[in-house]
């Protein structure tokens, strides 16, 4: 017989403070475990996309070489000022005939979007040791990640450092006649084509940012092989035979 005055919810109760704190602690522990995993997965996806881009570029380079008998002046395209003066004109290389999509030339970690029409203000290369060689009459799309890159990325006024060079030893005396250069008719398959530095972790505590210990660059070789190389082997630029363009696949 049901007693008068008693509710049908008799015996139910809410969570105690201890139970709530226990649940919150479990969620915090799981978050601490899963967030680094998600970050690692995201990094691996970016590296896989960048490696795939580089492989497609290597295939296109082979096709271009078969058609023209030489490798192009740039990978995507470049802007050059006419000899007689006037506005710069864009010289198309692998894009759009051999690589249809601009996205292939952009690392997913590039700070610039593919729809940007901005060009690099000053293209340089690091062959000249401590002093960058200037290219006042040459520019690239800012999102073009494999002809060159801004180093370090996301830093205001960082220089756009040219990575794709057909004859890099000619930029500095003292290197001699090194066969692993794209200007030659049949360079070996382990010739370095370009490399991506946007995957680096930078130490910005000093006056000059340096790659953190354990950070890597993705390096494209002529045979289409992409390898992760420790950033400290690519930076700073060192004299031959330890020059970045002379880095070995190690296989």
In a domain, 198, yes or no: yes
List, in sequence order, the alpha helices (H) in the chain.
17-68
Q: Considering the entire predicted model, what is its pTM?
A: 0.80
In a domain, 32, yes or no: yes
In a domain, 6, yes or no: no
User: What range defines the domain where residue 156 resides?
Assistant: 17-246
In a domain, 1, yes or no: no
In a domain, 8, yes or no: no
Residues 6+ apart with CB under 8 A from 220: 54, 55, 57, 58, 146, 192, 193, 194, 195, 226
Report mean pLDDT in 10-residue bins for the chain, 251 residues.
52 73 84 72 92 98 96 93 76 96 96 87 54 64 92 73 83 64 92 94 84 93 95 67 74 64
CA angle at 155 for the pair 219 and 45, rounded to the nearest 5°: 40
Peptide bond into 152 cis (omega under 30): yes
Contact 203, 187 (CB under 8 A): no
Q: How many CA atoms lie within 13 A of 121 on its CB side?
A: 5
In a domain, 251, yes or no: no
In a domain, 3, yes or no: no
Domain count, the chain: 1
In a domain, 100, yes or no: yes
């Amino acid at each position: 017989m049901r007693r008068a005055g008693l509710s049908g919810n008799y015996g139910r109760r809410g969570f105690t403070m201890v139970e709530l704190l226990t649940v919150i602690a479990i969620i915090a522990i799981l978050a601490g475990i899963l967030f680094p995993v998600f970050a690692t997965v995201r990094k691996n996806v970016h590296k896989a996309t960048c490696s795939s881009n580089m492989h497609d570029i290597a295939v296109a380079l082979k096709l271009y070489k078969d058609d023209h008998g030489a490798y192009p002046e740039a990978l995507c395209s470049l802007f050059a000022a006419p000899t007689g003066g006037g506005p710069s004109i864009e010289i198309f290389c692998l894009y759009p005939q051999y690589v249809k999509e601009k996205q292939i030339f952009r690392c997913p970690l590039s700070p610039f979007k593919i729809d940007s029409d901005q060009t690099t203000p000053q293209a340089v290369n690091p062959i000249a040791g401590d002093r960058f060689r200037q290219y006042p009459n040459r520019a690239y799309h800012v999102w073009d990640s494999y002809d060159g890159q801004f180093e370090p990325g996301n830093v205001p006024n960082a220089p756009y450092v040219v990575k794709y060079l057909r004859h890099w030893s000619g930029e500095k005396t003292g290197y001699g006649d090194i066969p692993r250069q794209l200007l030659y008719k049949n360079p070996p398959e382990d010739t370095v084509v370009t490399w991506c530095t946007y995957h680096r972790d930078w130490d910005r505590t000093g006056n000059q940012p340096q790659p953190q210990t354990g950070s890597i660059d993705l390096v494209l070789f002529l045979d289409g092989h992409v390898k992760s190389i420790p950033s400290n082997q690519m930076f700073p630029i060192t004299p031959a035979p330890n020059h970045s363009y002379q880095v070995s696949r190690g296989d």
